């Protein structure tokens, strides 16, 4: 497709400087909920790309924003009035979705600006609006359609949508997206992370069509006494008084409500007889929403999650979370996980392990993961990348974290699987940090009062005494804590004599523990890096943790080995964090089977079952009770 000469295209002022942009200066974006069930044109596939480490496609040699930048997609043969020194049509290609690091050896360590370009044809629908949907772009990005800036975004793991109704046209179109994965001291996450900084358009990209008045957000959930589905539906560009209908077609049940002054309709729908979503019976229902010409169909489960004292209650009953932590690393092929098979493999391994819960660390994962967790019956801890030493005293950094939190919750609020929103991992204990994170905890409760807020805290040590007394615990519903007895401190057997002091009468989830092992490396249980040493850590840890009175779940670190530039021990790590129970090639290590055995025992006599308050793996304390019948909303168990 021939490009028009750049001077003939309309040029808008660029609202973002990729390397230094205040959040307030970014172009407006939105997050359209349930995009995967919308009418859309997929732009997945081959995109042309240009590597631009000096940002020459954006800046002049005087470091001024160019008016003839790469976003105009010019063609050299038409540039008689100006020298055009690039050509997307003759440039190599990258697969989208996908990180650039693992697609070309020359880009493996690349951090900087990279330009994507793709042609597409589109049939406009009269009177409709059109959005460019980007599932994730790490870390900063600007998008243009037909040379006009559509939007800009900061944050590498949350979806965003750009209104392109004024720039898209019938027939031939082109889109250019500049993505910069440069790590930033004031970014979220900040400079140092123990995972690979995969750059690029790492999740789906599509063109989404909606009516002029469209459902842009909804929140439907089971109320606390489990007798009704409550919530609201928001319709953009509608008028107060217009009607919204929500129905459950399988049960022939529906309710209509009118939009208020805020364009939001309040919903309450009786659900007597509906089966509740549980890990044992992850029942999902088709939910149909209609507002004028706009319709949406979602697949949703209904359940409640709450705390009572030191118990976590699922549908009013105590539940113990048998879990594992997971990075969004693609099994076998490596790189950023981004497709249905990746989700099925990772969560399938979690089910094989005996999990009813997964911690999706350390950032929001692809929506495929939360959809699959809904179907498989896996409860989910979902996290934003407030990680290690952020600039906690900087209000701009707090604004970035709050933006990512809003985008995460807005996208995934309809997922029954998500029970915990996590606001941080292993952050330093300072007054600025505590104030920062307490603000985020309050934000969670405001944005989604139906779920629990947690964070992975550090532990204070005094010899064999361990203290969980971080002041942030006051603001959390569930305490998460990471500890590495046997790896970063002491020996595995020191867990046997460790005494725990938890300052809060709240549920405690041990969000991380573990140690590295290279698959196939064998030796004595006392020899580091061997499968036997890793298994020894688990054998000593599990009985220790089971003695903690507040212990209500765990997610050991981690399901599968993942790339990390911090891990450089030759012949063992080779650029991978080796704490996985499964290797990056899919090989199960000895510790996998140790944890699997424990989970099989705990599934029948966990602290939530009432059979044994604090079971110890390996003991002959098995429950003989039958699996309880599926709960019904008509008879909630108080």
Q: Render pLDDT for 293-308 as a digit per residue (tens, 0 to 9).
A: 999 999 999 999 999 9
CA 18, CA 182: separation in Å to the nearest integer?
9
**Is the pLDDT at 622 greater than 60, yes or no?**
no
Per-residue model confidence as pLDDT tens digits over 238-278:
999 999 999 999 989 999 999 999 999 999 998 887 999 99
**Is the pLDDT at 587 greater than 60, yes or no?**
yes
Q: What is the pLDDT of residue 629?
A: 38
What's the token pair of residue 92? 């190599």
For the chain, what's the residue count?
638
CA 596, CA 590: separation in Å to the nearest integer?
10
How would you class 225 by CB atoms within 10 Å of its CB: exposed for 0-12, middle for 13-18, buried for 19 or more?
exposed
CA 281, CA 168: separation in Å to the nearest integer?
45
**Is the pLDDT at 145 greater than 50, yes or no?**
yes
**Is the pLDDT at 371 greater than 60, yes or no?**
yes
Which of 188-202, 263-277, 392-406, 537-551 has the lowest average pLDDT? 263-277
Q: Can you give the pTM of this predicted structure?
A: 0.91
Q: What is the pLDDT of residue 477?
A: 98
Confidence of residue 620 (pLDDT cuts 50, 70, 90): very low
Q: What is the DSSP string of 338-356?
A: -SHHHHHHHHHHHHHHT-S
Q: Are 250 and 279 in contact (CB under 8 A)?
A: no
Dihedral angle, C-alpha 412, 418, 423, 427, nearest 10 °: -130
3-state secondary structure of 601: helix
Q: Which residues have CB under 8 Å from 117's CB, separation 6+?
A: 47, 48, 49, 50, 70, 73, 88, 91, 174, 175, 176, 177
Distances (CA, A) of 287 to 107, 250, 260, 409: 43, 9, 22, 19
Q: What is the pLDDT of residue 608?
A: 46
| Pairing of β 508-512 and β 171-180 | unpaired
**Is the pLDDT at 405 greater than 90, yes or no?**
yes
Which of 30-39, 139-148, 471-480, 628-637 has the lowest average pLDDT? 628-637
**Is the pLDDT at 286 greater than 50, yes or no?**
yes
Q: What is the pLDDT of residue 80?
A: 56
Confidence of residue 81 (pLDDT cuts 50, 70, 90): low
Peptide bond between residue 145 and the one before it cis (omega within 30 degrees of 0): no
Span 543-552, average pLDDT: 96
Q: What is the DSSP string of 138-207?
A: ESEEEEEETTEEEEEEE-SSS-EEEE-TTT--SEEEEEEEEEE----TTSSS-S--SS----EE-S-EEE
Q: What is the pLDDT of residue 160?
A: 97
3-state secondary structure of 303: coil
Which of 26-30, 73-77, 369-373 has the lowest average pLDDT? 26-30
Q: Are 185 and 391 in contact (CB under 8 A)?
A: yes
**Is the pLDDT at 127 greater than 80, yes or no?**
yes
Span 420-432, average pLDDT: 98
Sheet holding 499-502, edge to edge: 460-462, 465-468, 499-502
**Is the pLDDT at 29 greater than 90, yes or no?**
no
CA 497, CA 517: separation in Å to the nearest integer?
24
- What mean pLDDT value characterizes the chain? 90
Span 340-347, average pLDDT: 98
Q: Are 350 and 326 in contact (CB under 8 A)?
A: yes
H or E element that contains 441: helix 431-447
How would you class 616 by CB atoms within 10 Å of its CB: exposed for 0-12, middle for 13-18, buried for 19 or more?
middle
Which of 76-85, 160-169, 314-323 has the lowest average pLDDT? 76-85
- Name the DSSP letter for residue 409: H
**Is the pLDDT at 476 greater than 50, yes or no?**
yes
Among 202, 160, 203, 198, smallest CA distance to 181 is for: 198
Span 201-209, average pLDDT: 97
Q: What is the pLDDT of residue 245?
A: 97
Place of tokens 């950094």: 397
**Is the pLDDT at 615 greater than 70, yes or no?**
no
Sheet holding 129-134, edge to edge: 40-42, 205-210, 129-134, 160-163
Peptide bond between residue 139 and the one before it cis (omega within 30 degrees of 0): yes
Distance of CA 76 to the CA centre of its chain: 41
CA 88, CA 189: separation in Å to the nearest integer?
31
What's the token pair of residue 116? 């994507």
Q: Are 311 and 543 in contact (CB under 8 A)?
A: no
Q: Are 483 and 464 in contact (CB under 8 A)?
A: no
Strand partners, 210: 129
CA 577, CA 615: separation in Å to the nearest integer?
31
Per-residue model confidence as pLDDT tens digits over 95-121:
999 999 999 999 999 999 999 999 999
Span 305-333, average pLDDT: 97
Per-residue model confidence as pLDDT tens digits over 375-389:
999 999 999 999 999
% of the chain beyond a pLDDT of 70: 90
Span 222-231, average pLDDT: 93
Place of tokens 């940002």: 55
What's the token pair of residue 119? 């042609």
% of the chain beyond a pLDDT of 90: 84
**Is the pLDDT at 456 greater than 80, yes or no?**
yes
Distance of CA 145 to the CA centre of its chain: 27
Per-residue model confidence as pLDDT tens digits over 491-536:
999 999 999 999 999 999 999 999 999 999 999 999 999 999 999 9
List domains and CATH numbers for the chain.
Answer: 6-210 (2.60.120.260), 214-302 (2.60.40.10), 321-592 (3.20.20.80)
Sheet holding 45-51, edge to edge: 93-96, 45-51, 113-122, 171-180, 140-145, 148-154
SS3 letters for 18-44? CCCCCHHHCCCCECCCCHHHCCEEECC
Q: What is the pLDDT of residue 613?
A: 36
**Is the pLDDT at 592 greater than 50, yes or no?**
yes
Distances (CA, A) of 583 to 445, 517, 520: 38, 9, 10
How would you class 341 by CB atoms within 10 Å of its CB: exposed for 0-12, middle for 13-18, buried for 19 or more?
middle
- Radius of gyration from C-alpha coordinates of the chain: 25
CA 430, CA 470: separation in Å to the nearest integer?
10
């Amino acid at each position: 497709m021939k490009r028009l000469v750049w001077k003939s295209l309309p040029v808008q002022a660029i609202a973002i400087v990729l390397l230094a942009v205040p959040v307030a200066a970014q172009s407006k974006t939105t997050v359209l909920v349930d995009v995967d069930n919308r009418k859309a044109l997929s732009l997945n596939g081959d995109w042309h790309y240009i590597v631009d480490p000096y940002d020459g496609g954006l800046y002049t040699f005087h470091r001024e924003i160019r008016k003839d930048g790469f976003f105009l997609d010019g063609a050299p043969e038409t540039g008689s009035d100006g020298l055009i020194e690039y050509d997307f049509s003759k440039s190599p290609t990258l697969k989208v979705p996908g990180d650039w690091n693992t697609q070309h050896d020359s880009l493996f360590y690349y951090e900087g600006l990279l330009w994507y370009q793709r042609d597409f044809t589109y049939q406009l629908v009269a009177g409709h609006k059109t959005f460019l949907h980007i599932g994730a772009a790490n870390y900063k990005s600007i998008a243009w359609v037909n040379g006009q800036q559509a939007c800009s975004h900061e944050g590498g793991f949350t979806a965003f949508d750009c209104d392109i109704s004024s720039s898209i046209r019938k027939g031939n179109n082109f889109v250019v997206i500049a993505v910069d994965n440069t790590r930033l001291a004031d970014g979220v996450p900040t400079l140092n992370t123990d995972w690979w900084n995969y750059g690029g358009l790492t999740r789906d990209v599509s063109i989404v069509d909606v009516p002029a008045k469209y459902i842009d957000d909804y929140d439907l959930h089971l109320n606390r006494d489990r007798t009704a589905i409550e919530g609201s539906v928001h319709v953009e560009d509608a008028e107060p008084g217009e009607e919204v209908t929500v129905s459950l077609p399988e049960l022939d049940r529906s309710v209509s409500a009118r939009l208020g002054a805020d364009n939001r309709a309040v919903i309450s729908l009786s659900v007597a007889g509906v089966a509740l979503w549980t890990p044992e019976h992850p029942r999902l229902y088709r939910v149909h929403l209609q507002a004028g010409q706009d319709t949406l169909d979602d697949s949703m489960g209904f359940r409640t999650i709450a705390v009572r004292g030191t118990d976590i209650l699922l549908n009013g009953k105590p539940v113990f979370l048998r879990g594992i932590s997971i990075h969004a690393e693609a099994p076998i092929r490596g790189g950023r996980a981004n497709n249905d098979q990746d989700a099925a493999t990772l969560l399938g391994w979690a089910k094989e392990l005996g999990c009813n819960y997964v911690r999706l660390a350390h950032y929001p994962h692809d929506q495929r993961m939360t959809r699959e967790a809904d179907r498989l019956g896996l409860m989910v801890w979902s996290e934003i990348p407030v990680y290690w030493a952020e600039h906690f005293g900087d209000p701009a950094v707090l604004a970035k974290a709050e933006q990512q939190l809003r985008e995460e919750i807005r996208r995934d609020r309809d997922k029954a699987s998500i029970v915990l929103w996590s606001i941080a991992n292993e952050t330093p204990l300072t007054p600025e940090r505590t104030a920062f994170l307490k603000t985020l905890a309050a934000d969670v409760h405001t944005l989604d009062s139906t779920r629990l807020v947690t964070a992975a805290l550090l532990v204070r040590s005094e010899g064999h005494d361990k203290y969980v007394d971080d002041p942030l615990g006051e603001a959390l519903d569930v305490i998460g804590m990471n500890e590495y007895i046997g790896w970063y401190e002491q020996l595995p057997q020191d867990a046997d004599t460790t005494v725990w002091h938890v300052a809060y009468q709240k549920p405690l989830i041990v969000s991380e523990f573990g140690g590295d092992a290279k698959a196939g490396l064998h030796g004595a249980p006392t020899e580091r890096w061997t499968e036997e040493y890793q298994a020894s850590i688990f054998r000593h840890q599990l009985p220790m943790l089971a003695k903690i009175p507040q212990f209500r779940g765990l997610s050991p670190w981690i399901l599968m080995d993942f790339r990390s530039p911090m891990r450089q021990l030759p012949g063992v790590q080779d650029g991978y964090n080796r704490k996985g129970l499964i290797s990056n090639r899919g090989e199960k290590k000895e510790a996998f089977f140790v944890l699997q055995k424990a989970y099989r025992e705990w599934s029948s006599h966990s602290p939530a079952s009432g059979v044994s308050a604090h079971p110890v793996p390996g003991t002959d304390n098995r429950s003989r009770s039958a699996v309880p019948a599926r709960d019904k909303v008509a008879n909630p168990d108080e």
